[in-house]
Every structure is written in C-alpha cells, then in structure tokens.
Amino acid sequence: MDGGYVQQDDSEDAEAMYALLGDVITQILKPGETLSLQEIIGALYRTGLRADSPEMQQACEKVIRLLARKMN
C-alpha cells in the first residue's frame, strides 16, 4: 500500500513541477520567440529568489536541477 502512496506523491510532485515550469515560461515567452534552456533556468532562478515561500523556492530549485540534468 505504501508504494501506491509514494507513487501518488511523485505524480502530484511532477504535476506541480510542470505547472511551475509552464507558468514561468508563459511569463517570459513572447509570440514568435523561442527560449533556450538557459533562459528558462534563469527565469526559474529569479522566480525562486523573488518567492516568499520556502516551498516555492524549493520547487524552483528542483525544476532547475531537473532541467540542468537534461543539458548534460
């Protein structure tokens, strides 16, 4: 039973990370423009710095680490 619960948490965590990533991209993307991975990571970093809650800061850091792994 615990395995299902962990899987549920992972799924919710992934959804939250994708939602955060979508919000950040929506804020910085202009019509007809493309964004580099570095630009997205920079926007996430700035969002984390401006965040009032530690949870938002941690979420930004987690998504940054995920994207950074994609660069390698």
Q: Which residues of 7-31 are buried (b: 16+ CB within 10 A; e: fewer)?
A: eeeeeeeeeebeebbeebeeeeeee
pLDDT at res. 3:
43
Joined tokens for residue 32: 């007809």
Please report, in tens digits, the pLDDT of each residue of the chain (72 residues total).
344 433 445 677 888 889 999 999 999 999 999 999 999 999 999 999 999 999 999 999 999 999 998 877
